Amino acid sequence: MVSMEKDGLRAATQEAGAVDLLLIRHGESEGNVAATEARLAGAEVINVPARDADVNLSGTGQEQAKALGSALARIAEEFRPDAVVSSPYARARQTAEIAVEAANWPLAVRTDERLRDRELGILDRLTRLGVEARFPEEAERRLWLGKLYYRPPGGESWADVALRIRSVLAELNNLGTGHRVMVVCHDAVILLFRYVLEGMSEKELLDLAAGTSVLNASITRYVRPSGAGPWKLESFNVADHLAEHGVTITEHAGDASVHPQ
């Protein structure tokens, strides 16, 4: 078992790092459903049932988390994660807890605030139409700067989130050789893990974001057998386990307008 403090990945510095990293997007949330409904209805405001940190999984999201756990249970014991760390946001934490229980893994789910979703500041709960109607100057500035560098007032840019991820990865590099870690987080966070781990350029990241939706309860895996050096992408955005268990595969993407214009 990896030695960790109760709030996440913080651990004593050792000589080498983790060898296996599973990145899981949370199951479908009530917020995902509300955002899609608002967009289809042409509404300006998303009728979310709680603040972002407290939005729960939908019924479908709970079924997705159980199917994820069934898939994780098939991992041979010697290749299973010895640590599960989640965003503290309810939808991610619930996904991790349901999946670990379904997999029958004897692991506690830890949380780490650095894995939380991007904070939207004054644009929170607004659709793209809502931003354009209520904050036209911000809509124009967002188009001008692009997704990586645009920071809404009171919120974060993707570059800000990438800094959080670099901090998490620095600790993964000091866990000790042989450790395997599962991280449960959010779609933008997974894309930014790819950006950092693969040394992508801004254009490569935004091309990926424009053409790819990270599926709910999907699995992305990185490996590095030596525990040092660069990570290798083994698989990305895999959701076959959901179809296998007869669970709906859901695609709730963010704004596809990500490149600077």
Residue 109 belongs to some domain of the structure: yes
Q: Which amino acid is at 253?
A: A
Mean pLDDT to the nearest integer, 59-69: 98
pLDDT on residue 8: 53
Residue position matching structure tokens 């946001």: 89
Assign residue 187 the CATH number of its domain.
3.40.50.1240
pLDDT band, residue 6 (cuts 50/70/90): very low
Residue 261 belongs to some domain of the structure: no
Mean pLDDT to the nearest integer, 161-171: 96
Residue 252 belongs to some domain of the structure: no
Mean pLDDT to the nearest integer, 48-66: 97
What is the β-pairing status of strands 180-185 and 109-111? Answer: unpaired
pLDDT band, residue 185 (cuts 50/70/90): very high
pLDDT band, residue 15 (cuts 50/70/90): low
Give the helix ranges, DSSP H, for 104-238: 128-134, 136-145, 158-172, 187-197, 202-211
Residue 64 C-alpha from the chain's centroid: 15
Q: How many domains does the chain have?
A: 1
Residue position matching structure tokens 């930014």: 192
Residue 126 belongs to some domain of the structure: yes
In the chain, how long is the greatest CA-to-CA distance?
54
Residue 214 belongs to some domain of the structure: yes
pLDDT band, residue 1 (cuts 50/70/90): very low
Residue 15 belongs to some domain of the structure: no
Q: Is 90 exceeded by the pLDDT of residue 247?
A: yes
Residue 6 belongs to some domain of the structure: no
Residue 130 belongs to some domain of the structure: yes
Q: Is the pTM of this model over 0.75?
A: yes
pLDDT band, residue 4 (cuts 50/70/90): very low
The whole domain housing 234 covers 20-244
